[in-house]
Amino acid sequence: MFFQYLSKGYVASCSFTVEIIMNLKILLVGGGGREHALAWKIAQSPWVEKLYCAPGNPGIAGIAECVDIAAGDLEALEVFAVEKKIDLTVIGPEAPLVAGLADRLRAAGQAVFGPSASAAAIEGSKAFMKDLLQRHHIPTAGYQVFSQPKAALAYIRKQKIPIVVKASGLASGKGAMVCHSLKEAEEAVHRAMIAREFGAAGQEVVVEEFLTGEEVSFMAFADGERLLPLASAQDHKAIGEGDTGPNTGGMGAYSPAPIVTPGLHERIMSEIMEPVMRAMTMEGRPYRGLLYAGLMIDGDLLKVLEFNARFGDPETQPLLMRMRSDIVPHLLASASGTLAGMTIDWDPRPAVCVVMAAGGYPGSYAGNLPITGLQSVPPHGDVQVFHAGTRFDGGQVVTAGGRVLGVTGMGETITRARDVTYDVVHRIHWQDVYFRRDIAHRAIAREVS
Ligand code: AMP
Ligand code: GLY
C-alpha cells in the first residue's frame, strides 16, 4: 500500500521510502471527541513522527501538539500546513469541509483526508443530498424542499403526522425536528425559517416523511472511486432516555450494531454506498474521505436518513477503540486514491461510548465548570475518556461545550462494555452533569434475548 501511495509521486525511491514514511507530519483539524479519538489512534501509528492538532483540546494536548488555530480559520490552517510541510491533513469536522478547506489545501499541493466542498455538500445541503438520491433512485424518505415558510406550511397541512422538518444546512445535529402534531410542525418551520434558530442553515427546509425503524450509522473510507467500509455502529441522537426529546449531536454510541447482519451489510453497500459514490462521480463531485450514511432499517426496508462528510461523533470513539489496524495507511490511501486491496482488522469485542454533557444541552448551558474525577480514572487499556467540550483554566480542566466528554469502553459482551464504561462515568463529575443511563439498550436487549 505504501508503495502504491508513494508511486502517486510522494517519493520515487523505495530505499528512501521507509525513512520518509516513518517520519510523517500530520495535522488534525478539530477539537471534539471525534478528534480526540482520531488523535489517540493516529498517535499510535509507527509512521507518524509529529502530530499537530488545531485547535485540539486538553485531552488531545496529552498526545499531540495543539496549535491555537480555529477549525474555521481556513487561511491560517493553509499557512500552517504549508509552513510546517505537513504530509497529511485530516479534517475532522464538517464546517471546514463544507467551507472548502480540503480544496484550498489540495490547491496548495497538500495531501488531505476529507472531501472537497462540492462533495461535502452531501452533508452541507440536505436539499442537495435528497435531490441527488432522488435523481439516482437511491431509497430515502419522501420529501419536498422549501425556501418560503408559507409554502412549507401549506404542504405540511396536507401531509400525515408525524412529519419531519429539517434545516437544510449545517446545524450541529440539531436541525432535524421530528414533529408529532401539526402545531409542532408549524413551530419547527417557524424556528428554522423565521426565528432562524439554526442561522443560515434554515434558509431552506426539507420536509420529510416520518420513517419508523431502527437507525444505523454506516461509515466507509472513500478514495474517489472505491469504498472500504468500517464496522457498523449505532448512536443515540435524542437527549432523553428511551430516545426521547430533542435531537443532539449524539449522546452515546456503540459498535458493532447487532442489527447489521452480513446480509444487511452487503445490501447497504450495494443499494446505498456504492450507488452514491457512482452518483457523486457522475455529477462531477468525486468523493474522498469518510462517507457516513445515517440509515433507517425497518424489516427489509432500508432508507437513507442523512449523509455526513466526516467521521460520526460519537460513533468514531467506539469504532476506533475496536480498530486494530493502523489508521494512518487508510487515511493516506483515501487521500491518494489507493484504497484497492486494503482491509481493516477489528477487535471482535463490542465498545460503548457514553457522552457526558453539560446540564441544559442541547438548549443553553453553563460553561467553565471544574471537572473532578478525571485523575481517578484507572489506567485501563479498555476504557478511554475522550475530551469533547473541555478547556484548561489554569491547571484545571473545565467544561467548555455541550458535549463535554465521551467515556468509551470495551468488553467481551456489550453488557460488559456498557458496565466498564459507566463505572468510569460515575467517577467523573461537575455541576449539573448530564448523561443518559440507557446507552446501548437496543443492543443489550438483543444480547440478553
Ligand atoms: P438527520 O440529521 O437528518 O439525520 O436527522 C437527525 C435524526 O432525526 C435522525 O437520526 C433520526 O433520529 C431523526 N429523523 C430524521 N429524519 C427522520 C425521518 N424521516 N423519520 C424519522 N426520524 C427521522
Ligand atoms: N452522531 C451523528 C453524527 O455524527 O452526525
From 12-16, 204-208, 263-267, 275-279, the region with the lowest mean pLDDT: 12-16
**End-to-end CA separation in angstroms for the chain:** 43
Residue whose Cα lies nearest atom 19 of ligand 1: it is: 210
Whether residue 280 has pLDDT greater than 60 = yes
Per DSSP (E only), the strands in 288-402 are 288-298, 301-308, 351-358, 383-387, 390-393, 396-399
C-alpha span between 237 and 251 (Å, rounded): 6
Residue whose C-alpha is closest to residue 86's, from 114, 122, 111 = 111
In the DSSP assignment, the letter for residue 194 is I
Span from the CA of 305 to the centroid of ligand 1 (angstroms): 6
CA distance 259 to 67: 41
Check residue 110 and give its pLDDT.
97
Domain boundaries, the chain: 2-117, 142-209
Q: How confident is the model at residue 21 (pLDDT cuts 50, 70, 90)?
A: low
215 CB within 6 A, ligand 2: no
Looking at the CA of 92, which ligand is closest?
2
Phi and psi at residue 285, to the nearest 5°: -130, 60
Give the ligand whose atoms come closest to the C-alpha of residue 174. 1
pLDDT tens, 118-135?
999 999 999 999 999 999
Ligand number, closest to the Cα atom of 238: 1
What percentage of the chain has pLDDT greater than the value 70?
95
Is the pLDDT at 7 greater than 70? The verdict is no
DSSP annotation of 45: -
The alpha carbon of 78 and the centre of ligand 2 are apart by a number of angstroms equal to: 26
* Model pLDDT, residue 365: 97
Three-class SS state of 377 = coil
Q: What is the mean pLDDT of the chain?
A: 94
pLDDT at 380: 72
Q: Strand pairing of 383-387 and 234-235?
A: unpaired
**39 — pLDDT class (breaks 50, 70, 90):** very high
- Give the pLDDT of residue 150: 97
Say which CATH class 142-209 falls into: alpha beta
pTM (predicted TM-score) = 0.94
- Does domain 2-117 fall into CATH 3.40.50.20? yes
144 CA → ligand 2 middle, Å: 23
pLDDT at 315 over 80: yes
Q: Give 371-414 pLDDT, tens digit per residue.
A: 999 987 777 789 999 999 999 999 899 999 999 999 999 999 99
Position 1 scores a pLDDT of 39
